[in-house]
């Protein structure tokens, strides 16, 4: 049976991304050995270095797919409402819910900044979910929904709050309850920016 190179390439990359995501999530970047990953994929490290350049390149590609998935979730949930305030809260809750998941959490929130450096990580973040948040805030400000506040600073403040929220919820025994509590705290936090 004959397999096209394009197809082979795509399949190999997809397989490595999936396996690496699992390894990075459970072991962390530093303790995930490239040899173990490629072995699980039925390949050798040659394939990895061919497609991703180095271990960090593989991690970056994995993080990119994590970001895309989360941004999609956030966008979908936010779009379910017409009211800007509800859109904002829906999006925030969707982000936290996604970020809590095992296959996203460590890669996105723990190892991401450490492995790529905060600036590179932040740049990636800006091109995905943070972008959505800032656009929403910007639009709300222009429509007069928000009190006078520097948008960029606010975006980072909220983003940081939600990142930690996800990490906190993730390790609590009753996650549903913790999410409720956190939603309450987040709702009040956002209230501070409602124009009076």
Q: Which residues bind a copy of itself (CB under 8 A)?
A: 28-30, 110-111, 113-115, 117-119, 122, 147, 149-150, 152-154, 156-165, 167-168, 171, 178, 181-182, 184-186, 188-193
6 binds, among a copy of itself, DNA, none (CB under 5 to 8 A by kind): DNA
Q: Which does 32 bind (CB under 5 to 8 A by kind): DNA, a copy of itself, none?
A: DNA
Task: Decide: is 18 part of the binding site for DNA (CB under 7 A).
Answer: no
Toward a copy of itself, which CB reaches closer, 38 or 115? Answer: 115
Total site size for DNA, rule CB under 7 A = 25
* Segment near DNA (CB under 7 A); pick from 34-42, 134-142, 153-161, 165-173: 34-42
Q: Which is nearer to DNA, 15 or 156 (CB)?
A: 15
Measure the CA dihedral 64/183/167/63, to 10°: 0
Please, which of residues 47-106 interact with DNA by CB under 7 A?
Answer: 47, 49-51, 54-56
**Which residue ranges make up the site for DNA (CB under 7 A)?**
2-6, 8-9, 12, 32-35, 38, 42-47, 49-51, 54-56
């Amino acid at each position: 049976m004959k397999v096209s190179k394009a197809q082979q390439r795509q399949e190999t990359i997809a397989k490595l991304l999936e396996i690496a995501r699992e390894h990075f999530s459970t072991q962390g970047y530093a303790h995930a050995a490239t040899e173990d990953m490629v072995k699980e994929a039925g390949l050798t490290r040659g394939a990895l270095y061919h497609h991703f350049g180095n271990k960090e390149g593989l991690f970056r590609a994995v993080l990119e797919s994590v970001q895309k998935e989360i941004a999609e979730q956030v966008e979908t949930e936010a779009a379910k409402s017409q009211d800007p305030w509800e859109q904002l809260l829906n999006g925030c809750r969707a982000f936290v819910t996604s970020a809590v998941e095992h296959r996203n959490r460590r890669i996105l929130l723990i190892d991401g900044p450490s492995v790529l450096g905060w600036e590179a990580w932040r740049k990636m973040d800006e091109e995905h979910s943070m972008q959505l948040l800032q656009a929403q805030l910007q639009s709300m400000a222009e429509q007069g929904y928000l009190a006078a506040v520097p948008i960029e600073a606010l975006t980072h403040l909220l983003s940081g709050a939600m990142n930690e929220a996800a990490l906190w919820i993730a390790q609590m025994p009753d996650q549903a309850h913790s999410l409720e509590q956190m939603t309450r705290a987040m709702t009040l936090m956002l209230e501070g920016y409602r124009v009076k």
